[in-house]
Structure 1
Amino acid sequence: MKKTLHWTQMEEGGVIWGMRLLLRIYLLFGRTVLQLFLYPVVIYYWLINRQARQASQAYLNRLAAFAPSLKLSGSFLWSFRHFISFANAIIDKLAAWSGALTRADVQYHGRNEIIAQIRKGQGVVLLGSHLGNLEVCRVIADFDKTLHINVLIHNKHAQKFNRLLKQTSDSSQLNLIQITEITAATSMLLQDKIEGGELVIIAADRSLPGSRQHVAKVNFLGGEALMPQGPFILAGLLKCPVYTVFCLKQQGKHVIYFDHFSDMLNFPRKTREQAMQQIIQRYAERLQTYCLKEPLQWFNFFDFWRVSHDDE
């Protein structure tokens, strides 16, 4: 049987060059012209990338069974719509990077709680995901220059993306931090950020390569999936308030939802595994709730559920 690639192995080597080109087109000609360039690329990708297309269809079939009221299916048409939604998310990402978004483009739920914590000098961990468009969260800082946002990412392009962001906005308060594993140095760096009253965003829905011993099996959209323990362990070590964050495109607006998750995550030694399981399952249930709001904005084009069976 052909072995399924881990999601981190699916990146294209030219991703930075490609994003720089798309950003330049966006800045020079705007969204409409960019769509003329981007849509053919996404259509081509949908046609030739069988694994991503099948993962999309499997996800949509799962949704159709789990939530029939959504009235979607795993057909080619719905999968194509899924990829076009991804294309639009890329354009929105570029708009966020370029500073083109205005206050009128963004709505918030729960933002005042986050601001209140920061005003007290208290940093906050935000548990994000690959649902929606986390990059739009940079506008939180763009609208208030006293805020600093740090985003942990799991790929080698962090420094290059940082430089790209600085080229488009010298005053950007968004900092991307590359991690391949959680170490003492990672914890110390982020502790400094938290003590400085900054925000730390961690995507909590994907496991790192070779980290199977540090994952939890959770029930998500009616099936068993793996989610990493690392983000939750790290949030516990930072000893600070924890919120979830989801940014969805709804009726032409970017709607950012901040929801309280815990005053402080704690995993007692005697009941560590049980407590960890309960916390991660609770996160999975919250992610599921938001996924059902905008199902075509789930951008995990790999077999998210099969991962839990790869070693069987």
Structure 2
Amino acid sequence: MTTAQRSHWAQKRENGSYLAIRLLLGLYRFGGKYLILLVMVPVLGYFFIKDRSARTASRQFLQQVHTFKGPLSPFQRPPGYWQSYRHFWQFAMAALAKIDAWLGRLDGKQVYYGGSVGFDTIMQHDTGAVLIGSHLGNLEVCRALVRSKYPVKINVLAHTRHAAAFNRILKDSNSAVDLQLIEVTELTPAVGVMLSDCIARGELVVIVGDRISVQAPERAIWADFLGKPAPFAIGPWVLASILQCPVYLMFCMRQDNGYNLMFEPFAGQLKLPRKDRQQALQNAVQQYAQQLEQVACRYPLQWFNFYDFWQLPAASQHKLSQQKEAPGDSST
């Protein structure tokens, strides 16, 4: 991909203005499902044509899934533009589902629990827990469904500056939407202390593990994902070890007419011993990548990372190359 296409995920600008997004969601809220579906066809077509980098990243991911799975691929033939457009469509539907979630329109009877543990198990601990999510599926829907059933505070660590208009829409839809949304670009000691207090009170801390750091993307752990090495952030795993509490993986996938909520135990307490810290981090990230891979192959059109997932941003790649070359530089 070109240097422009290999920019950092956090630098990708939000498609659509606040007023345009508000107009679309107003049509959805007051005009019903079928009206918004009719309007979304040309709107999505416009963005599909306009956003070349996202379109390219979509096809790259879907084709990688197809190649990796071989005879067991979820696609009958190599994915092309039509599958990529369907990918965009699923992203738009996920955005609408977030609005439904915070307006209380989701039916709790349409929720399935496909993981190895139920949410009741997570709530049985004396302290809180860390939930590691991803941009696969719809964590916002999961959060709303859980809060509608359990009286637990959920603190979500997120970088939302590249989606300011949509998050403002969520806030307008329900004033309580982002009360526990914590904007974090760097895990500082102060953030660690604050989250430790949350865990001690029995609250949950949610952080995604599939996107590299905003501040230092070159500080990544590389793990095998769909047959190729991909960079993953270190921060979520360091944070989980600091908080010294149970760690679970969490997915919320659209399935049939409902949602499949999956919770998987990851560690009773994640330990990163000083002597073998790098290897422990590598093991944790690879275990996460493997689980992410399995779910992504089942629901490929619900993968919402529309950038080259297997490459560092161009500037970070150059910085990393310089760091690797420096020890062996014998020039005078």
TM-score, with structure 1 as normaliser: 0.90
The Cα of 1:160 is off from its aligned counterpart by 7.8
Higher relative contact order (CA 8 A, sep 6+): 2
**Aligned partners of 2:12 and 2:162 also within 8 Å:** no
Residue 304 of structure 2 corresponds to residue 299 of structure 1: yes
Amino acid at match of 1:62: Q
Amino acid at match of 1:195: A
* Runs of at least 5 residues in structure 2 that lack an aligned partner in the other structure: 322-332
Q: Distance in 1 between matches of 2:37 and 2:198?
A: 38
SS of corresponding position for 1:269: coil
The Cα of 1:111 is off from its aligned counterpart by 8.9
Of 20-29 and 177-186, more deviation after overlay is shown by: 20-29
Out of 249, 254, 260, the position equivalent to 2:254 is: 249
| CA deviation map 1:8-52 (0-9, x unaligned) | 111328665554444333221222222223332221111111111
Residue 240 of structure 2 corresponds to residue 235 of structure 1: yes
**1:17–1:245 Cα change, 3 Å:** farther
Q: Distance in 1 between matches of 2:226 and 2:218?
A: 23
* Runs of at least 5 residues in structure 1 that lack an aligned partner in the other structure: none
Residue 135 of structure 2 corresponds to residue 100 of structure 1: no
Out of 69, 80, 88, the position equivalent to 1:75 is: 80
**2:48 corresponds to:** 46
Q: Distance in 2 between matches of 1:302 and 1:199?
A: 29
Correspondence list, 1:67-146, <5 A: 67-68=69-70, 69-70=72-73, 71-110=76-115, 113-144=118-149, 146=151
**1:56–1:245 Cα change, 3 Å:** same
**2:11 corresponds to:** 9
> Structure 1 residue runs of 4+, over 4 Å off?
13-19, 110-113, 157-167, 170-174
Of 54-63 and 26-35, more deviation after overlay is shown by: 26-35
| CA deviation map 1:268-298 (0-9, x unaligned) | 0000000100110000000001001111111
Q: Distance in 2 between matches of 1:274 and 1:38?
A: 47
The structure with the larger Rg is: 2
Give the fraction of aligned pairs with identical amino acids, expressed as a percent.
38
Out of 269, 282, 290, the position equivalent to 2:287 is: 282
**Aligned partners of 1:39 and 1:87 also within 8 Å:** no
**1:41–1:173 Cα change, 3 Å:** closer
**1:162–1:303 Cα change, 3 Å:** closer
**1:33 corresponds to:** 35
**Aligned partners of 2:171 and 2:178 also within 8 Å:** no
**1:179 corresponds to:** 184
SS of corresponding position for 2:161: coil
The CA RMSD measured in Å over matched residues stands at 2.5
**Aligned partners of 1:60 and 1:72 also within 8 Å:** no
Residue 283 of structure 2 corresponds to residue 258 of structure 1: no
Of 23-32 and 226-235, more deviation after overlay is shown by: 23-32
**1:143–1:210 Cα change, 3 Å:** closer
Q: Distance in 2 between matches of 1:143 and 1:97?
A: 10
Amino acid at match of 2:52: R
Amino acid at match of 1:302: Y
**1:269 corresponds to:** 274
Residues matched between the structures, number: 312
**Aligned partners of 1:128 and 1:134 also within 8 Å:** yes
**1:23 corresponds to:** 25
Q: Distance in 1 between matches of 2:234 and 2:277?
A: 11
| CA deviation map 1:70-94 (0-9, x unaligned) | 2342311221121122122122222
SS of corresponding position for 1:307: coil
Amino acid at match of 1:58: Q
Q: Distance in 2 between matches of 1:19 and 1:175?
A: 23
Q: Distance in 1 between matches of 2:57 and 2:298?
A: 20
Of 158-167 and 47-56, more deviation after overlay is shown by: 158-167
**1:8–1:259 Cα change, 3 Å:** same
SS of corresponding position for 1:132: coil
SS of corresponding position for 1:11: coil
